[in-house]
Structure 1
């Protein structure tokens, strides 16, 4: 019984500095928001230093003493990563990642050294499925002096509501 109590007692301080691992899913080409939240962050003010890392090696985004810094940002995240400042004062350091690539899949670590906060999120990027279409041609051979005409119809098979119609230069009449 004594060993179990000591283990629980030792685990409580660790839970104060790190949150549970979260999973966020996105699709190739879309945008997602990676969360980083802790009650201590709300009290730190606007002069926070925050580091976002991908798989512990790539520098995704930094805030140094309250200022955005992309000086050492990995080129893969140029013009695709930003921290949303709207909720920063309430302790939410949210990283928006746009135009997702399959290589963005992995673990993202949000580290706030002054508050001793580490928050990790697992990002799963799915491949975008290209829609499948069926092409149909309707032909009129014409009669007498009338020329034949062709109507080309492309119908999406992936459950899309819209159908796309392409007509030949001549009407079917």
Structure 2
């Protein structure tokens, strides 16, 4: 598993010591606002097991993100295959940070490193990003990293009931 470094962050393999802060993030209703119900500790632990297996199988996935200066775990960022059943295919970029890490530019910094890895080491021609229509903070990160909204790709998530989590927007960026 490749480790990515930026000026302030390390994107690295998951450690067992990440499980408790990851579970705390996933139990935070504000962190989960655009994702669905908070997760239990067992659900959070299972997600890390999937992340590790995906990296082993594909060579890319979700990295744990830590602050270089302190070693503090602050969330995740990475690439994932678009879920089956979506109205498009490809590889999508994503990030999720603990609330104390919001507003410091970490999501943008991590996402730029992930894009560089996806286009460089992985040779991807295009990377997608999806979020709920109401998630304006993530959409702002998408614009800051050079992505463009594809209104023709906006969709209602078939896995969600009617409500604020169902309408989704699609952003794209092609390899420079």
Q: Which category describes the TM-score, using the shorter chain as reference length?
A: under 0.3
Answer with 1 or 2: which has the greater Rg: 1
When the two structures are superposed, what TM-score results if normalisation uses the length of structure 1?
A: 0.26
Q: Which has the higher contact order (CA 8 A, sep 6+)?
A: 1
More helix by share: 2
When the two structures are superposed, what TM-score results if normalisation uses the length of structure 2?
A: 0.26
More strand by share: 1
